[in-house]
Amino acid sequence: MLIGVDVGGTNLKAGAVTEDGGLLSVSTRPFGRFTGAEDFALRLVQLARDAAEKAGASPGEIRGVGIGVPGAVEDGDILYTVNIPLSRLPLRALFQKYLAVPVALGNDADCAALGEWRCGAGRGCRDFAVITLGTGVGGGLILNGGLYTGGGMAGEVGHMVTHAGGIPCSCGRRGCWERYASATALADRARQEGRLRPDSRLSLLGEGVTAKDVFSAAQAGDDLARSLCGAYAREVAEGIVNLLNVLHLQRIALGGGVCAAPEELLIKPVRDLVHRTCYARRSRQIPEVVRAQLGNRAGIVGAALLGDAGRR
């Protein structure tokens, strides 16, 4: 039995996973206050033991543990993380002080791609990516039939500039794709436009409007919301076609909260744009655009399978 651990800024999750990716149990606890590296590792060990116990297994039956973190990893160390204080942390070594099993570390987007590839929307593909549209835009790549990490830092697809000289990004550049295609970007846009259009449902929602609200209003027929969803799909497609022209993937799966939106408001228009504009549109192999299937489970399942992926 394998254990997958998903380290998030809000929650820590662990799951017991079979060798072929079946999820047997999930244990969750809040990230809480960070009280040191050693203590953090111990908490993850406890969570892993708990997940094993819930699945009816003893700690001795754990064959390996994979840990997905929101940041860059290298050789069992966390190099740095986004939004949580785990930079320069030798997590594998600390973890193994309390539980002597093989431990693999991975980036969370890479884990999601691995999970979807082995057990979800990417099954059977040689070249595949999961693109997550959330606070930012993240990506995990499966290339030539294996996880591609570029030494641990690849997949920062949100920081591909699509609008040179455009909106400033926290990464230091201007016009990064995630400033236009993240759920945050859609909500920001709705807030701005809502102020100018008191006739729209979006203006009623005021400053707290979310990407999900925009899709709901569009579904209910709100004109402004429909137009914002259309523009958003075009921004999403712009970056996806870029990735496909560079990598000619067989399939791209879209994940993140906004992908729960009705098919005809997001996945379908993105797919249509991709099929109309990607360079390979006249080739024998036209890339597919689908919805990710595993939701939050992808991170746990993918983390558990990290060891098998041959990169730790």
Could you say which of 42, 101, 247, 290 contacts its own copies (CB under 8 A)? 247
Could you say which of 51, 78, 241, 274 contacts its own copies (CB under 8 A)? 241
Kindly list the distances between the CA atom of residue 252 and the CA atoms of 15, 103, 143, 150, 287, in Å, as whole numbers in the listed order.
Answer: 26, 29, 12, 19, 7
Name the amino acid, one letter, at 92: R
Could you say which of 15, 152, 256, 269 contacts its own copies (CB under 8 A)? 152
Which residues, numbered 87-126, are part of the site for its own copies (CB under 8 A)? 126
Nearest partner of 91 among 269, 303, 293, 290, judged by Cα = 303
**DSSP labels, 15-69:** EEE-TTS-EEEEEEEE------HHHHHHHHHHHHHHHHHHTT--GGG--EEEEEE
Please state the closest distance from residue 198 (CB atom) to its own copies, in A: 29
Nearest partner of 308 among 16, 20, 5, 6, judged by Cα = 20
Backbone angles phi, psi at 76, to 5 degrees: 85, -5
Which residues, numbered 174-193, are part of the site for its own copies (CB under 8 A)? 180
Neighbour-count burial of 146, counting CB atoms closer than 10 A to its CB (0-12 exposed, 13-18 middle, 19+ buried): middle
Please state the closest distance from residue 237 (CB atom) to its own copies, in A: 10
* Residue 135 interacts with its own copies (CB under 8 A): yes or no: no
Give the nearer residue to its own copies in terms of CB position, either 13 or 311: 311
Q: What is the DSSP letter of 87?
A: T
* Residue 250 interacts with its own copies (CB under 8 A): yes or no: yes
Rounded CA-CA distance 74/77 in Å is 5
HSE, CB side, 13 Å, CA atoms: give it for residue 89. Answer: 21
Taking residues 264 to 283 in sequence order and writing x for each that binds its own copies by CB under 8 A, - otherwise, the string is ------------xx-xx-xx
* Residue 127 interacts with its own copies (CB under 8 A): yes or no: yes
> Near its own copies by CB under 8 A, which window of 56-64, 95-103, 116-124, 170-178?
170-178
Site size for its own copies, by CB under 8 A?
A: 50
Q: Using alpha carbons only, how large is the chain's radius of gyration in Å?
A: 20
* Residue 72 interacts with its own copies (CB under 8 A): yes or no: yes
Could you say which of 216, 242, 293, 296 contacts its own copies (CB under 8 A)? 242
* Residue 162 interacts with its own copies (CB under 8 A): yes or no: yes
Please state the closest distance from residue 295 (CB atom) to its own copies, in A: 24
Neighbours of 274 (CB within 10 A): 23
Please state the closest distance from residue 149 (CB atom) to its own copies, in A: 8
Which residues of the chain form contacts with its own copies (CB under 8 A)? 72, 74, 79-80, 126-127, 139, 141, 143-144, 146, 148-157, 159-164, 171-173, 180, 235, 238, 241-243, 245-250, 276-277, 279-280, 282-285
